[in-house]
Amino acid sequence: MNFSDFEKTSYSGLYISKATHDIFGKKYIARFQYQNKRYVKVLGYSKKNNLSKKMAFNLMEELKKTIMQDDTNDINIKEEHNDKEELLIDENNKYKKLLGNYTNLSKNVFKTGIQKIYDFEKLKPYQIELIKLQNYLEHENKRMIIIFEGRDASGKGGAIRRITRYMNNKHYRVVALGKPTETQKNQWFFQRYIEHFPTGGEILLFDRSWYNRAMVEPIFGFCKQEEYEIFMEDVVNFEQDLVRQGMILIKLYFSVSKDEQKKRFDRRINDPLRHWKFSEVDMQAQDLWDEFSEKKYEMLRRTSSKSAPWNIIRSNNKHLARLEAMKIILNSVNYDGKNNSLDFEDNMDINISVQKELMHMRKSKNY
């Protein structure tokens, strides 16, 4: 563009061509400077675009506003970028101060530790509800038994610790019975369990229960086949009597996969802090997996009743298993002050019906 072909108009920065095109007419251009930068732009033609001087000037003013706005946006973006950068630096320094010398930890340990913090926080609202439940049982003088069953390393103990963590220890007890004495062997089988039953307002948590006779005892030869059959025939009526007499009975079965059980056993063997958990029975658990599966199948099939059903909890994910166990317990009683904003719905991937578990076990013995 040859600028000598244009002349000034009465509007500052607006120029018009000296020559007139036969079809387009005269050409208007804008020529001005902003922030030490010169701008030249064709605005249009007098005939083709039907432009007057005034209209061309208005177009030039709009152009200037656009340029100024773009420049302001660039400045704002730079300032916003600087603000975000300062915020990230500030947050990074706070995290470093909070975490301390975290670089000495392995990434797996560090990641696991942080995940546990989030898991603990997710459980707390439900642990508050468990305290409300406990207060309700005490006020109403009701009794509750919670049975925790499952293979070795299925997560029973960890679930019990999370459930009871904030409870009033005056009104709950955890019972894990060892081998029966000679006297107990000659008693009615249920006698030694009844001796520990809760009084009014109390919760009793059995870490393994009378269902030892349904799985562990017959596999390891701790009872006769006849004793096993008698138990399987009597236990449903025994539990129905308990419920009929006002006992709140909750049966939880923690169902862990064979591969996950092995991982947990390996951790017990290799971790000095967990080595005490490993026993000779654990050593045989993997070898006897199929035998345990057969007994588990029969136990679930024959001992789940309408008054005392089994709740199957898939426990490969410990946190989700613990959360689901809490929800099952909380849903068993209509206690006062329940926080209905919480999610009490069953997680169908974790809380498995007895029928679904049996159907799965007919196809695979992995659980």
25, 123: one domain: no
Domain boundary among 74, 92, 124: 74
Tokens of 138: 């005490």
292, 145: one domain: yes
Between the alpha carbon of residue 187 and those of residues 22, 195, 204, 218, the distances in Å are: 121, 12, 22, 18
- In the DSSP assignment, the letter for residue 334 is -
Q: What is the pLDDT of residue 282?
A: 80
Torsional class of 246: left (φ above 0), alpha (ψ -120 to 50), beta (otherwise): left
What are the DSSP E strand ranges found in the chain?
A: 6-8, 14-17, 27-34, 37-45, 143-150, 172-175, 203-207, 247-255, 310-314, 351-352
60, 115: one domain: no
Q: What is the pTM of this model?
A: 0.75
State the average pLDDT over residues 7-30. 89
Q: What is the pLDDT of residue 142?
A: 98
pLDDT one-digit tens code per residue, 128-155: 999 999 999 999 999 999 999 999 999 9
Q: What is the pLDDT of residue 76?
A: 63
12, 149: one domain: no
Cβ-contact 151, 259 below 8 angstroms: no
Q: What is the pLDDT of residue 107?
A: 78
133, 14: one domain: no
Q: Do the domain assignments include residue 95?
A: no
State the average pLDDT over residues 321-341. 97
pLDDT higher than 70, residue 79: no
Q: What is the pLDDT of residue 183?
A: 94
Q: Do the domain assignments include residue 251?
A: yes
Pick the more confident residue, 154 or 65: 154
* Angle separating helix axes 289-303 and 354-363, nearest 10 degrees: 150
Q: Do the domain assignments include residue 79?
A: no
Angle (CA) 251 199 323, round 5°: 35
- CA 291 to centroid of chain Cα atoms: 33
- Domain range spanning residue 45? 3-74
pLDDT one-digit tens code per residue, 190-214: 999 999 999 999 999 999 999 999 9
pLDDT one-digit tens code per residue, 177-190: 999 999 999 999 99
Q: Do the domain assignments include residue 93?
A: no
Pick the more confident residue, 293 or 29: 293
Domain boundary among 26, 57, 74: 74
Domain boundary among 74, 91, 117: 74
d(CA 44, CA 28): 6
11, 145: one domain: no
Instruction: Choose among 69, 16, 60, 19: nearest CA to 41.
Output: 60
CATH number at residue 293: 3.40.50.300
55, 118: one domain: no
Share of the chain above pLDDT 90, in %: 65
Q: Do the domain assignments include residue 85?
A: no
Q: Do the domain assignments include residue 104?
A: no
40, 127: one domain: no
337, 273: one domain: yes
pLDDT higher than 80, residue 82: no
**Picking from 39-43, 117-121, 234-238, which range would have the lowest pLDDT averaged per residue?**
39-43
Q: What is the pLDDT of residue 68?
A: 81
14, 153: one domain: no
66, 149: one domain: no
Instruction: Please count the other Cβ atoms lying within 10 Å of the Cβ belonging to residue 146.
Output: 25
Q: Do the domain assignments include residue 190?
A: yes
Instruction: Choose among 177, 333, 317: nearest CA to 250.
Output: 333
The structural domain count of the chain equals 2
- Please, what's the b/e burial string for 80-109 (b: 16 or more CB within 10 A of its CB; e: otherwise)? eeeeeeeeeeeeeeeeeeeeeeeeeeeeee
162, 44: one domain: no
pLDDT band at 63 (very low <50, low <70, confident <90, very high): confident
d(CA 54, CA 14): 10
Q: Do the domain assignments include residue 100?
A: no
Cβ-contact 295, 218 below 8 angstroms: yes
Share of the chain above pLDDT 70, in %: 97
Tokens of 322: 């613990």
pLDDT one-digit tens code per residue, 250-273: 999 999 999 999 999 999 988 888
